[in-house]
Amino acid sequence: MKSIDIIKSGMFYWMQESYMALRKHKNGIKQWQELMDKGLCAGYEKQCAKRGSGAKGFLKHVIARDRLLGLEAGGGIMARKGKQITKFSYWIECPFAVLKDRIGVEEYEEISTKGYLATKIRYFLGDGWVASVVKSPWLGDKRTEWVVEKIGYSKPTKDSGHELWVCI
């Protein structure tokens, strides 16, 4: 086993077991989310990642940090309004996949979409964005993938050669 694999295994083990220990306590999931929030924000600040740097900043810094931690990660732009990105995908090798037999899909959503992903969205995008899980180990996939979309926009439609954005 390579050194990075040992570190990665140790990191995953710590995250998984700290979560499993805290979840049993009153407000344990919330406390765990707060720990992740502080840790992620501190990590992005050490990367010199600028708060509010938008979807490009999110994709650049979040994926870079995930990869630095030994996780496979990626994503891409799905829609724009002019130069503004309004929809993108983000995927990550799920560090909690081994908990699939210990927690349900709803609980996984609490710690992933409403937990660490929400922190990433607040840090880089601010308010007005929503994330939806499209893939996860709980749905039979190898990784977790989200579509992150700016509230108030749907996919563009074509009308007489012009791109229209439909507000929802």
Tokens of 124: 């880089």
Residues 6+ apart with CB under 8 A from 69: 8, 11
Q: Structural domain tally of the chain?
A: 1
Do the beta carbons of residue 44 and residue 116 sit within 8 Å? no
How does pLDDT run across 66-113, given as a tens digit for each residue?
998 888 999 999 999 999 999 999 999 988 888 888 888 988 888 889
> At 114, which CATH number?
3.90.1520
Q: How far apart are CA 15 and CA 32, in angstroms?
A: 9
DSSP state of 86: E
Nearest to 57 by CA among 120, 111, 136: 120
- Does position 20 have pLDDT exceeding 80, yes or no? no
**What is the separation of C-alpha 59 from the centre of its chain, rounded to a whole number of angstroms?**
10
The SS3 assignment for 100 reads: coil
Angle subtended at Cα 96 by Cα 12 and Cα 150, rounded to the nearest 5 degrees: 115
How does pLDDT run across 112-127, given as a tens digit for each residue?
898 889 999 999 999 9
The predicted pLDDT at position 10 comes to 57
Domain boundaries, position 13: 3-164
Q: What distance separates the 2 farthest-apart alpha carbons in the chain?
A: 59
Q: How far apart are CA 90 and CA 71, in angstroms?
A: 13
Nearest to 91 by CA among 74, 109, 66, 71: 74
